[in-house]
Amino acid sequence: MVSNGTNGMNGTGVTPPRSAGGVLGALLGLVATSAVAGLLVTVSLTPVLALTGVTASTTIGTFANLPDYLAIEPLAQRSNIYATRSDGTPVLLATLYDQNRVEVGWDDIGQNVKDAAIAGEDPRFYEHGGVDVKGTVRGALTTALRGTVQGGSSITQQYVKNVLVQRCETLPTDAEIADCYDEATQTTVVRKLKEMRLAIGVEKKYAKNDILRQYLNIAGFGGRVYGIEAAADYYYNSTAANLTAAQAASLTAIVNNPDKFRLDRPESETNGAANGYRDNKQRRDYILGEMLRFQKITQAEHDEAVATPIEPVINEPSTGCQTALADAFFCDYVTQVLASDPVFGPDEATRLKNFRSGGYDVYTTLDLDLQRAAVLTLNDNVPKSRPGWDVGGVISSVEVGTGRVLAMAQNKDYSQDPEVQATGNNWTSVNYNTDFADGGSRGFQPGSTYKVFTLAEWLNTGHRLEERVDSAPKSRWGTFNDSCLGPQNYDSEGWSPKNDANESGGRYSALESTIRSINTGYIGMAKRLDLCGIRKMAESFGMHRADGEPLSQSAAAVIGTNEVAPLSIAVAFAGIANRGVTCSPVVIDRMVDASGEEVPIPSTRCTESVRPETAAQMVSALSRVMTGGTATQSYTDTAPRVPVIGKTGTTDGAKDTWMSGASSEVATVVGVVSVTGNGNQRAMRFPSGPVATARHRMWPDVMSVANEKYGGEMLEGIPVERPEGGDDDNGNGNGNGNDAGNDNDETDEDED
């Protein structure tokens, strides 16, 4: 530690005048710094020890078993989560803490604060060697006679006590914390002796100004407010450097008895606004009198300060992601990552405690431009609640090639408070975009969106887009190959999937089945594949069930019955657009600790899901979904135009509807889902239009901003767009280019 002052001097470098008692205190302070200080202090307290029955051997043992000193260590500080504007300016999303504290240096603490602390708590601070023996004897006698600890503690002793209490907070269990706290605060002479011994050691190790600075940083100011900087902000909307003498004395008064003197209980009968915060004012004015006595302020300054009414300006601190408002669900996901990733600690409890007390600044991947677009379009198109239907709206955007989560929004208001949640289903703490383990739901069926994984397996195993299969609806589909579970037959279960527009089937090509989202065409493709292989292909694109259970690999899963998280789908589409290389999602760009040092962060993991040539064929098919298939409205309404791929999805009974797609730079998934119950989206309208087509109103809003900001290159495999009236779907006469997508209610009904 660096000292900015000299022991034996006050904060201004001027030695205060000494009374006879001050001379005695100074003499005793010099004695206390000697090697036998502990023994001499014990001897000086012999009358007290006799009254309490504490033996000399006990006191000597107490000293012998203690360390030489308590190191001045970093204190628990609040941590911040930021987004970053395009110009690089950080925007605070949320502050999280167990103790609202901002640790500050000596030069950031105003002289008024330093003078008030010394005058009010330890006038002989710069004279003694850690123990003000005169005051300690007086306080210890009171302790012995009355059974309560009274006065006598120097600032250094108070610092020691606070350090011991703070260390209790780091223990792993509530029981250990409680036992530690009892030991650190128990009303006994032995505890006082421990404080004295450790205080002497601190004084021998550190300069006076270092001790005073850290005392002001560690002190409690009521509730969860700790340290002079946070106290100045909370009670007076100011800083430690700018407090007036009256304000500094008022805050110093709180340290003496936080519960009694705090200023955030205006209804208090003895210390409320109605009586001018009487208790605090009495203590404040005493401190101001001491500041005058020790010539820290002039008579005029004293009189002005005493005449100043106490008028706190409570700047309510907030902890938690609710302060992020519409960005709260993304913020919540960041905290889930901080709690779950091993890079931040060995277990979840340790990780969260480290973060909430570590003074970290976390700079996230959130793109505020895309996020604003997502929030606004959700507000315009999906209500927060609707009579008779708990409706959810979700949007997730991921950067292609990096896994950076650029946007994450939903149509609900965020709250962790059960009482608030009970007021209406517009409130929730569940993030519908993420997995259950990450604070999300147990997932939603993606419907035909999931067909892209069968398409990937089809092409990866050597099949072609123009290859045709038996696509006619059937009541019996026979046996499916499954190399993991053995042959599977669902005929006895009465499984008979149909097509949304009741297409009769026949022999559709893989390309036609993709463009028109033909269920039976994809079931026919699955008959020629391995169900286990399809499941493994989905997993290679990062797909997994949101509830943590293994993916189903049944024939029904081909058309989207696995409950998954929207973020997982966005990651998969980013992988397709990235030439088949899928990158896991990340939400933190950089993180620094309280000292400004960079902290290791989780990095994305990129793996090849399919060969580049397979990805190119997928791109060819999925681009046609946008230009001439079920997603044409999303493509038509997106401006500026860049090459994109996409796929729609609708679940059984139009319960959930999806639009998923990507440019070469950004992948976005939009969904309208039934959170609880079932709502037939085809039978309902929002004020913005039909519910079933809300996805096609929202996806272009987000991707238009993405295209404007990030651009988009030609995706490998996308054919050159042909003029109207040109060739058929695949350019060789095997398709017809017609589909039900022009009304955007295609909707590819999938079986549960």
From CA 484, how far away is CA 499, in angstroms rounded? Answer: 28
Residues pairing with 659 in the sheet: 648, 670
Q: Is residue 341 part of a domain?
A: no
Q: Is residue 27 part of a domain?
A: yes
Residue after which a domain boundary falls, among 256, 287, 307: 307
The percentage of the chain sitting over the pLDDT mark of 90, rounded to a whole number, equals 67
Q: Locate tokens 């260590």: which residue?
A: 73
Q: Is residue 343 part of a domain?
A: no
The whole-number pLDDT of residue 441 equals 96
Residue after which a domain boundary falls, among 270, 286, 307: 307
Confidence of residue 13 (pLDDT cuts 50, 70, 90): very low
Tell me which of 470 and 725 has the higher pLDDT: 470
Query: The domain spanning residue 178 has which CATH number?
Result: 1.10.3810.10
Whether 139 shows a pLDDT value over 80: the answer reads no
Contact 568, 388 (CB under 8 A): no
Q: Is residue 561 part of a domain?
A: yes
Max CA distance (Å), the chain: 110
Confidence of residue 85 (pLDDT cuts 50, 70, 90): very high
Q: What is the mean pLDDT of residues 459-479?
A: 95
Contact 114, 243 (CB under 8 A): no
Strand 361-367 with 79-84, pairing: parallel
Find, among 723, 453, 418, 747, the residue nearest to 572 by Cα: 453
The whole-number pLDDT of residue 180 equals 85
Find, among 504, 500, 538, 534, the residue nearest to 519 by Cα: 500
Q: Is residue 410 part of a domain?
A: no
400 DSSP 8-state letter = T
The whole-number pLDDT of residue 590 equals 96
Whether 50 shows a pLDDT value over 70: the answer reads no
Whether 724 shows a pLDDT value over 50: the answer reads no
- pLDDT tens-digit readout, 160-195: 999 988 888 777 677 888 888 888 777 777 777 888
Domain that holds residue 286: 20-307
Q: Is residue 625 part of a domain?
A: yes
Per the structure, the count of domains in the chain is 2
- pLDDT tens-digit readout, 51-77: 344 444 444 444 444 556 577 777 888
The whole-number pLDDT of residue 356 equals 81
Whether 5 shows a pLDDT value over 60: the answer reads no
Question: How large is the angle between the packed helices 37-44 and 20-32, nearest 10 degrees?
Answer: 130
Residue after which a domain boundary falls, among 307, 328, 351: 307
Query: The domain spanning residue 578 has which CATH number?
Result: 3.40.710.10
Q: Where are the beta strands (DSSP E) in 31-170?
A: 79-84, 90-96
User: What is the side-by-side order of every strand in the sheet holding 645-650?
Assistant: 405-410, 390-399, 666-676, 657-662, 645-650
- pLDDT tens-digit readout, 627-662: 999 999 999 999 999 999 999 999 999 999 999 999
Q: What is the mean pLDDT of residues 15-36?
A: 37
Q: Is residue 138 part of a domain?
A: yes
Find, among 77, 67, 106, 108, the residue nearest to 208 by Cα: 106
Tell me which of 139 and 293 has the higher pLDDT: 293
Tell me the three state secondary structure of residue 286: helix
Q: Is residue 620 part of a domain?
A: yes
- pLDDT tens-digit readout, 572-598: 999 999 999 999 999 999 999 988 999
CB neighbours of 171 closer than 8 A, spacing ≥ 6? 177, 180
